[in-house]
């Protein structure tokens, strides 16, 4: 099985209770369950992680780069300003797909900028938790250029 890291940034551990009108009612545990179950169906060994710590997220991206591990990344608020995270993502050695539960372009203007998009293989946004599923399917089907 191909290993895949699903990395989540700040506040994503609060899914289900945090602004359900924006992020839906699926809990973080539900997200983990859906990603790992779909991963098994697709022949992927999915490990889902969440952190509110920018340094930890960067270390996980380094780990993925060193291990040539594909990544599904929801940077949360780090999307808009973390150049350290962007530089770590740029070191990728396997596909990296940026995901967002909501569509950032329909929200506040500061959310319209992603510092990671330019170094990602692709971006999936606006499909709720389904954004993760679409990203995992893209990885499994080799739809990314690496």
Catalytic positions: 23, 100
Give the span between the Cα atoms of 78 and 92, in whole angstroms. Answer: 17
103 is in an annotated binding site: no
62 is in an annotated binding site: no
- HSE at residue 126, side-chain half, CA atoms within 13 A, is 8
Q: Which of 102, 145, 107 is nearest to 126 (CA)?
A: 102
101 is in an annotated binding site: yes
8 is in an annotated binding site: no
Q: What angle do CA 35, 12, 100 make, to 5 degrees?
A: 70
- HSE at residue 41, side-chain half, CA atoms within 13 A, is 9
102 is in an annotated binding site: yes
111 is in an annotated binding site: yes
Binding-site residues sit at 74, 80, 87, 101-102, 111
Residues of each annotated binding site for substrate? 74, 80, 87, 101-102, 111
């Amino acid at each position: 099985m191909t290993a895949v890291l699903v990395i989540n940034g700040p506040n994503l551990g609060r899914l289900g209770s945090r602004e359900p009108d924006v992020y839906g009612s699926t809990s973080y545990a539900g997200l983990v369950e859906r990603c790992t179950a779909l991963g098994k169906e697709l022949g992927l060994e999915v490990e889902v992680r969440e952190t509110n710590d920018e340094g930890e997220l960067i270390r996980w991206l380094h780990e993925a780069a060193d291990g040539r591990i594909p990544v599904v990344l929801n940077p949360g608020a780090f999307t808009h300003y973390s150049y350290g995270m962007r530089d770590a993502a740029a070191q990728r050695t396997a596909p990296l797909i940026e995901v967002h539960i909501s569509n950032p372009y329909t929200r506040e203007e500061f959310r319209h900028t992603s510092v990671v998009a330019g170094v990602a293989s692709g971006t999936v946004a606006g499909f709720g938790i389904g954004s993760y599923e679409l990203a995992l399917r893209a990885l499994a089907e080799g739809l990314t250029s690496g």
